[in-house]
């Protein structure tokens, strides 16, 4: 089975490796070719040459500007004959931009599936991501055997834009939970309880969550190597603010959490895992 993959950041690389481990013959392209070293797979010269050689291409990029460049920039997918091709975009996009991507691919005779994923590097390596999908049912059914190789739980929402909107709503919870957990750990240390014991108590009480389970070791060991960066959650919460404005509804907790992650840029922490927000919040302690 042949497919293509574009975008070899932390999550994209994990998904690409999973597909290859599951027997998919994968062509790959990345803006920085060095990121493909050691991955295997055939390295394409451009997105256009990649989609010319396969029927389905997966994308995982930082934001909608990057997706736009891959679709219609120099050597982009749309520079090739895309008739009958399927693009599965796992990027967390802006909800307005993603509807444009559906239109652009349809005009080229191709199918676009917005397929943002819930989960990060570890579940991607295990094929345990949750995948939200919007797009045409025929394309969805054709792509499903490959999507199932990276996703354990799949929700087909069909209507263009819904999967992206739901992903942003999910990340409202994700961003707020991580910020609250990080602050609680720092708070607990300030009252004189060891970090490990604070985390154990939170895990047995109100903090018990998939987020704490996934980030417990990082909080304990100060290993904030990137699985999902603060810059990404900041971007996602900014997109969510745009959605709230369109709906003419307030965004309370998400707006506060966004500004907390925004502070990581001034501390040089934005490229680390978003659990590194603990280091930022810890700075405010010990001043009694």
Give per-residue pLDDT as tens, 113-126.
999 999 999 999 99
User: Which residue ranges form the domains of the chain, and what is each CATH number?
Assistant: 2-158 (3.40.50.720), 165-282 (1.10.1040.10)
> For residue 240, with 0-12 CB atoms within 10 Å meaning exposed, 13-18 middle and 19 or more buried, which class applies?
buried
In the chain, which residue ranges form alpha helices assigned H by DSSP?
10-21, 47-53, 64-72, 95-107, 121-126, 137-147, 162-190, 195-204, 210-221, 230-247, 253-266, 277-282
pLDDT score at 88: 98
DSSP 57: E
Letter string b/e over residues 110-130, b meaning 16 or more CB atoms within 10 A of that residue's CB: bbbbbbbbbbbbebbbebebb
CA atoms within 13 A on the CB side of 270: 16
Given a cut of 50, is residue 288 above it in pLDDT? no
For 19, 33, 171, 239, the CA distances from 232, given in Å and listed in that order, are 23, 22, 10, 11
pLDDT score at 286: 62
Using the structure block, give the residue that is written with the tokens 């219609």: 72
Query: Is the Cβ–Cβ distance between 276 and 224 less than 8 Å?
Result: yes
Give per-residue pLDDT as tens, 71-81.
999 999 999 99
Predicted structure pTM score: 0.95
Average pLDDT rounded to a whole number, residues 166-188 = 98
Please provide the average confidence, as pLDDT, over all residues in the chain. Answer: 96
């Amino acid at each position: 089975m042949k497919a293509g993959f574009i975008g070899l950041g932390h999550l994209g690389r994990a998904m690409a490796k999973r597909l290859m481990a599951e027997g998919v013959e994968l062509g790959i392209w990345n803006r920085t070719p060095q990121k493909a070293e050691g991955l295997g797979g055939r390295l394409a010269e451009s997105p256009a040459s990649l989609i010319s050689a396969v029927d389905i291409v997966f994308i995982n990029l930082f934001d909608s500007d990057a997706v736009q460049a891959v679709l219609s920039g120099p050597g982009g997918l749309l520079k090739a004959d895309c008739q009958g091709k399927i693009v599965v975009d796992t990027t967390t996009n802006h909800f307005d931009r993603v509807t444009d991507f559906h239109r652009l691919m349809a005009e080229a005779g191709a199918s676009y599936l917005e397929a943002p994923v819930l989960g990060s590097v570890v579940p991607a390596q295990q094929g345990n991501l949750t995948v939200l999908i919007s797009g045409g049912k025929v394309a969805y059914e054709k792509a499903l055997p490959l999507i199932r190789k990276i996703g354990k739980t799949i929700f087909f929402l069909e209507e263009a834009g819904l999967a992206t909107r739901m992903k942003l709503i999910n990340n409202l919870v994700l961003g707020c939970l991580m910020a609250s957990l990080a602050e609680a750990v720092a708070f607990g240390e300030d009252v004189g309880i060891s970090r490990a014991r604070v985390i154990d108590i939170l895990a047995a009480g109100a903090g018990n969550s998939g987020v704490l389970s996934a980030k417990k070791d990082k909080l304990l060991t100060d290993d904030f190597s990137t699985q999902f960066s603060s810059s990404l959650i900041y971007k996602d919460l900014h997109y969510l603010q745009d959605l709230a404005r369109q709906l003419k509804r307030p965004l309370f907790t998400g707006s506060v959490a966004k500004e907390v992650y925004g502070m990581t840029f001034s501390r040089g922490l934005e490229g680390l895992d978003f659990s590194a927000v603990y280091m930022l919040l810890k700075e405010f302690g010990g001043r009694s």
